[in-house]
Amino acid sequence: MPIRIVLADDHPIFLIGLRTILSQNKALEIIGEASSPDQLMTFLASNHCDVLITDFLMPADEQNDGLRLIERIRRDYPQLPVIVVTMLQNPAIFSSIINLGVKGLVSKISLSHELPAAIKSACAGKLYVADSVAKSIEVVNGVGDDRLLPIEKLSPRELEVVRLLASGLTSREVSERLNRSKQTISAQKVSSMRKLGIKNDAAFFTYVQAHGLQS
């Protein structure tokens, strides 16, 4: 039986690229495609697949952060191997994605030779991390005075708030974007700063700049 795969990406050209790469392997069968979080969740609700390959960021009104989408998929389909493909070059986000229990993390730049290996690894229940991603994470997890504070201490929702604040939005604007109260946003910011050992707003923005968290 071929390995049944679902593809999700909001960029048509990348969907075409994924389809082209995978169609060369007779052991793989693409059974569905989605271009938004809602389409993806609707398809998964009524179709069984062996592997999900999804872009990290697929903007939608209800889904403002890729970590939330992955968290939802992992909660609703804990046995489904998930491979994330992304153009991001952010070690902190990479660590957060891996911590959510995905089985593969691949850069879109190196899809052609790394994606087949990631699928094979995922089907075997093993984690596959692209070379470029692994090297970025190693830099973040360095030792000595250059060691960065552990961003993975944050929950997906806290990291979501931090990223939006880092992009220049106010707490009120983040509240409206995420449909949460301003008090909740402020509490999540304070919680994030406490977990990371950050004492004030100046240190907060220095930290997010050092970690490349600006949108």
Residue 35 CA from chain centroid, whole number: 16
Of the chain, the percentage scoring pLDDT greater than 90 comes to: 40
Chosen CATH of 3-139 out of 3.40.50.1260, 3.40.50.2300, 3.90.420.10, 3.40.50.10490: 3.40.50.2300
Q: What is the pLDDT of residue 46?
A: 96
| Average confidence (pLDDT) over 159-188 | 88
pLDDT for residue 146 is more than 50: no
Q: What is the pLDDT of residue 101?
A: 87
pLDDT for residue 27 is more than 90: yes
pTM of the model: 0.66
Q: Using an 8 Å Cβ cutoff, are 97 and 84 in contact?
A: yes
Q: What is the pLDDT of residue 139?
A: 55
CATH architecture of 149-210: Orthogonal Bundle (1.10)
pLDDT for residue 202 is more than 70: no
Which residue ranges make up each domain of the chain? Answer: 3-139, 149-210
| Average confidence (pLDDT) over 118-132 | 89
pLDDT for residue 203 is more than 80: no
Q: What is the pLDDT of residue 63?
A: 47
pLDDT for residue 66 is more than 90: no
Region of poorest pLDDT, from 44-48, 166-170, 209-213: 209-213
pLDDT for residue 135 is more than 70: yes
pLDDT for residue 165 is more than 70: yes
H-helix or E-strand containing 67? helix 66-76
Of the chain, the percentage scoring pLDDT greater than 70 comes to: 81
**Could you give the CA distance from residue 74 to residue 78 in angstroms, rounded to a whole number?**
5
- pLDDT-based confidence at residue 59 (cuts at 50, 70, 90): low
